[in-house]
Every structure is written in structure tokens, then in C-alpha cells.
A and B are shown apart, each in its own frame.
Chain A
Amino acid sequence: MSTVDPMQLPAPDPSDPAGLDDLLTGDEKAVRAAVRQMLDRTAEPYVAEWFEQGEIPNVRELAKELGALGVLGMHLEGYGCAGMSATEYGLACLEIEATDSGLRSLVSVQGSLAMFAIWRWGSEEQKQEWLPQMAAGEKIGCFGLTEPDVGSDPAALKTRARRDGSDWILDGRKMWISNAPFADVAIVWARTDDGIRGFVVPVGTPGFAVNEIKHKLSLRASATGELVLDNVRLPDSAMLPEARGLKGPLSCLNEARFGIVWGALGAARTCLEAARTYARERVQFDRPIGAFQLTQHKLATMSLEYIKGYLLAVHLGRRKDAGKLRPEQVSIGKLNNVRAALDICRTARSILGANGISLEYPVIRHMNNLESVLTYEGTEEMHTLVLGKVLTGHEAFR
């Protein structure tokens, strides 16, 4: 036993009371700081306005800034990608989502869904053609799996690809596709006589159209669309040669979910800090509301949930970097951290009172964003049943 007097140690940092920062390496902190510095200049001052307007007006410029930093496809190797660790990718997602979930969605869809699909399952030609430009943010990708009638059960997807000579003809519709309204390329999953296959569809291919989905009250700083494929003719070289069956798209979703495990904590951190600051400044009954037990209970509970979620994220990140992360373990992280983050944001909303519903503060924006995050990339219910199956051996969703 050492004889250090614990009271002589520096007092805990109120924004990191458990000292979680010590879990990170110097490189990881440098990556985090670079992302934060970039966002503070390019996004943070404008993001509430983007949310209110329902669009990022200069999204292509922003994508290039993200590309220059190295965020897009940052955990992939080669083809202009930065080749960073999974934990570093997670930390980047956390910083980005601390600004806005919509922005993190842009990065997730680009790097973990569209780029990963090509990087993992594509031909050498497809990789050479798309990945360097996508890493640089010059081309933007989207990912079409979900359909109007097909969500949690992707095996039931209806979009079809049939042979015509050596070409493929695609017909169908894809729904709730992030990035679609400004994408240059779509990864589209379709049913063939040979099972589910993926296709690289350049925007502008005849018969391919995008309709923007309006009237969202969540992820408003992110563009969402419907893909319409009407007799879209593609050469055989457009098919992802290595992906057969649902394993293809599910492997991509697994990558994106890993980013969400971290990202959701970013939204939570922003709301927790907003609530902590507000509770120290807002005076009622001649005292800051942070001096009242009910408020302290709320803040302490939020802080505990954040700390536990962060420990889980770091643990899963280390497992992924060691090549030991199972998809069920990603489900555990996504289930816990999005749920915890949403609770933190809702509690923060109550601490801010009426100001909690105003876009002048970040809280309601993050809270509403997380309603989407709770559902996309595997619903709360599906991840619950994935864990349920691990625990009991019984599959309860089929």
C-alpha cells in the first residue's frame, strides 16, 4: 500500500469527476483536440441555425474540411484514409456528436456505411475509384438498406436486382437514407436470384432519383431522403463482388453502431455541461438551483450514467482495437449509451426549465436528435433482444 494522502491529490475536475481522461493516450487526446478545434471553428457557432433551417447550407465545404482533417473513413487503411484506431474513431464521433448528432450521422454514413461497404466488400477498381475522393470529402456517399416497409427485418427487403445480359436492372425504393439529398453515390442493397447483393450506384444513373424527406423534428442538421430506383441499369462491375447475403450490410451497420456508442455520449456531455452551468447560475429562492437537493440528485445521476457509458465505450474500443469485438457487444454499447444519453438530455431539459425548450441552448436539439439515434442503426428493442438472446439462448424476435 502506498502512503499517499488522497486529500493531497488535486481536487476532481467537475467536468470529469471520475478522472476518465487518464484512460486515453497522448495520441487519442491529440485526435480529440484536433476534431474539437476544427468543429469550434467550422460548426459549433452555426449548428443551432442549421438545425432551425433544417439544412447545412455549405455541406460540401464542411465535408471537405472533415476530409482534410482526416475524419472520413478514418479507421480504414489505405486509399487516402487516415488509418486511425477504433478508439480514436470513437473519440472523434463523440466530439462531433457533442456538436450535433446530424453532423455525426454525416460522418458515420460516409465512413462506416458507404466507405466501409466499398473498402470491405468492393473490387479493387471500386476502391480506387471512390475511396480517395470520399476520404477527402470531395464525394459524398449514402447507404440504402431500409425500405418503406422494411426496417428491423432487412431479410424481407423488396428492392430487386435482375440480370439483363451482363447488366443488372434495379427496381425498388429505399427510405430514411441519410446524406441522400446531396450524395454522389449510393450503396444499394437488393434481392437477387443469388441472395442479397450490394451495388454501387452513382447519382445521375438514369432511373435513379432522390426525394428529400421534410417535416423532421429530429436530426434537422442532416439531410434525409428516399431513393427511387426505376429500371436502373448498371454494369456488372457495379456490384460489390465480395458481399453475399445480409452479412454484407450488417457488417457495415456494426461499424456505424460502434461510432454511435461513443457519439451518443457526446450529445450527453453537451447537455450535462449545459445543465451543470445553468444550475450554478440560475438563482431561485435566493440560491442557485444547483444548491437544491433535487437538482443535485439529477446532476449526480446524469454524471454517473455518463461515466458508466464512457467506461463501456472505452472498453469496447479497446476490444475492437484488439480485434476481439463481437457484434452483440456493440449492441450492448449502443443500447446502453443511447438510452443513457437520451435520459441525460431529458433530465438536462428539466433543469433548464423553460430555457430547456429553446434553441438558444443546445439541450432540446440534442434531445430531439437522440430520438432518431435511439431508433436508427438497430432499434432499442432489437438490441435488447440481441442481448436477451445472449443471456437466454432464445431468439425472441423471429
Chain B
Amino acid sequence: MTNIVVLVKQVPDTYSERKLSDSDFTLDRESADAVLDEINERAVEEALKITEAGEGEVTVLAVGPDRATDAIRKALSMGAHKAVHVSDPALHGSDVIATAKVIAAAIRRLDSVDLIIAGNASSDGGSGGVPAILAELLGMPQLTHARSVTVEGGTIKVDRETADEGVTHLEAQLPAVVSVTEKINEPRYPSFKGIMAAKKKPVETLTVADLGVDASEVGLDNAWSKVLEAAPKPPREAGQKIEDSGDGGVKIAEFLAAQKLI
């Protein structure tokens, strides 16, 4: 029996134009199509695989504005059992610490959570800090950057892969916090039956006050960091041409290695 909470986030579709709002430099959520972050689909997939192999329930947890229900529905249509949605205007502009506090409070309300799975970083903010901060707040071991996860009884084993350190093998006792990379799996797509079933699955909507979190701890005004200025990305520079005088392959390999792609 493994009860799993998956942290999900609605983000602007990476295919659409993404920008910060002119007024407070937070993400302009209206300007782009919003989707369930792809790394979260992988996190949901991993949770479903673990519960399908044994027993247990998958709860998705999202902190975000009302329209984040679409992302929650997607996770439910993939097969997650229920959802908790923390939505509160006071949360606008919250930093990673405030976000993690809210998530921790929402998780403490749930019965017997064995495992928390998150993506290693969102495709919008991309700070990658929430899983580690959350583990600290909940007093749980953190196993981040997982490219594979195995749960055996009360033990979790993870292959952790980062660009700088290569692969390390981690092991911890449950409950624990895991964050996964895009190498973890190929997420399933929802079936029509899953889409129909998702409509009947319970979604609990909570405010900051419901969680007993003080409003003075969250939101843009209470964030530890703030964006003071933003400018659009400079246009892409012209590519680099490599003349092949017999050593073209070596030069390409050197280029890729310099970019840390190989």
C-alpha cells in the first residue's frame, strides 16, 4: 500500500509565446495556452506505475489560480484518483519558500502519505527548489533528479542523474520526497474513458486560510526575491559553420561536449 502525492503545476505551453506581465514581472498567464507541465505528466506516470504494481492511491496536488483545474483534470484523466487544489489570490507572486510552505500544509492534512513525487523543475519558473524545501519542511528524506525509482516495502531506491555528477544510487525509508527528470519514463496519454471518469473524481479546493497558513507568509509582497527588471531574450545568433577537412566529426563532438550535450 503506497499512497502517493504528485505535485503538479499548470504552465504556459512551451510552444506559445511566454512573457512576464508589465506591471509586476510575474508570469503573464493569460497570454499563453496553459498546460499540465510535461515533467508533471512523467511524475504522474511514475506514481501510477508504482500504485498499479502494488496498491495505493494517487493524489495530485496543485497550487495555482482557478484555471489550473484543467491541468488537474489532465492528471486525473491519466488515472490519478483524486486532487487537492490550493487556489487563493493571496498566493499571486509567491516564491518557492512560500509555495513549499503551502504544499507542506496541504500534505499534512492528508492521511498516511508514503511518497511525494514532483518534477525536478517546472518549465516556467524553473527554480527547481520546491522538492528540496518541501522535504526539509516535512522532515522527509529528499531523492532528487531521479531517472529511475523503485519502491520495495518501506524502502525507496533511486538512480539520481545530474550533468555534473553522473549517476548516484540513493536509498531511503518512506515517507520521502522524490523529484524526477525527463528520463524517468514516457507518460501515458489519457483514454476517452479516463477523460470521462476524471469528471467524477473528487477535487478538494482550499484557500490559504483553510490550510492555516498566514497570508503574511505568501504572495509577491512577502517573497524573498523579486524581479526588478525584465527584457525579452535577444534574437538567436547565427549558427556556427564547421568546415570538414577530415576532422569534422571531432569538431562536432568537441562542440557538443562544450555545450555539455554529450
Residue contact B30 to A37, C-beta cutoff 8 Å? no
Interface size class of B (residues with CB under 8 A): 10 to 19
Interface size class of A (residues with CB under 8 A): 10 to 19
Question: Do A70 and B73 form a contact, CB below 8 Å, given A10-B31, A82-B196?
Answer: no
**Binary CB contact string for chain B from 126 to 145 against chain A (1 if under 8 A, 0 otherwise):** 00000000000000000000
Other-chain residue from A10, A26, A37, A74 in contact with B192 (beta carbon distance below 8 A): A74
Question: Do A38 and B189 form a contact, CB below 8 Å, given A26-B73, A30-B74?
Answer: yes
**Count of chain A to chain B residue pairs whose CB atoms are closer than 8 Å in the complex:** 40
Other-chain residue from A26, A69, A84 in contact with B70 (beta carbon distance below 8 A): A26
* 8 A Cβ contacts from A47-63 to B: none
Separation of A71 and B192 alpha carbons in the complex (Å): 8
- Neighbouring B residues of A74 by C-beta, 8 Å: 192
B191 beta carbon closer than 8 Å to chain A? yes
- Binding site secondary structure of chain A: helix
Other-chain residue from A10, A27, A71 in contact with B195 (beta carbon distance below 8 A): A27
B77 beta carbon closer than 8 Å to chain A? yes
- Neighbouring A residues of B31 by C-beta, 8 Å: 10
A217 beta carbon closer than 8 Å to chain B? no
B65 beta carbon closer than 8 Å to chain A? no
**Binary CB contact string for chain B from 191 to 217 against chain A (1 if under 8 A, 0 otherwise):** 111011001000000000000000000
- Neighbouring A residues of B56 by C-beta, 8 Å: none
B190 beta carbon closer than 8 Å to chain A? yes
Identity of the chain B residue whose Cβ is nearest the Cβ of A92 in the assembled complex:
B192
- Shortest Cβ distance from residue A44 to the other chain B in the assembled complex, whole angstroms: 13
Residue contact A34 to B190, C-beta cutoff 8 Å? yes
- Neighbouring A residues of B70 by C-beta, 8 Å: 26
Residue contact B73 to A34, C-beta cutoff 8 Å? no
Identity of the chain A residue whose Cβ is nearest the Cβ of B186 in the assembled complex:
A41
Other-chain residue from B30, B189, B199 in contact with A69 (beta carbon distance below 8 A): B189
Residue contact A69 to B191, C-beta cutoff 8 Å? yes
Separation of A70 and B191 alpha carbons in the complex (Å): 6
Separation of A83 and B193 alpha carbons in the complex (Å): 9
Q: Which of A10, A34, A88 has the most CB of B within 10 A?
A: A34
Q: Which of B31, B74, B195 has the most CB of A within 10 A?
A: B195
Residue contact A70 to B189, C-beta cutoff 8 Å? no
7 A-B pairs in the complex with CB atoms less than 8 angstroms apart: A10-B30, A27-B195, A31-B192, A34-B192, A34-B195, A70-B193, A83-B196
Which B residues fall within an 8 A CB radius of A? 30-31, 70, 73-74, 77, 186, 189-193, 195-196, 199
Which A residues fall within an 8 A CB radius of B? 10, 26-27, 30-31, 33-34, 37-38, 41, 68-71, 74, 82-84, 88
14 further A-B contacts with Cβ under 8 Å, apart from A34-B189, A82-B193, are A26-B73, A27-B195, A30-B73, A30-B190, A31-B195, A34-B190, A37-B189, A69-B189, A70-B192, A70-B193, A82-B192, A82-B196, A83-B196, A84-B192
Closest 10 CB pairs of A and B: A70-B192, A37-B189, A82-B192, A30-B195, A34-B190, A70-B191, A38-B189, A34-B189, A69-B191, A84-B192
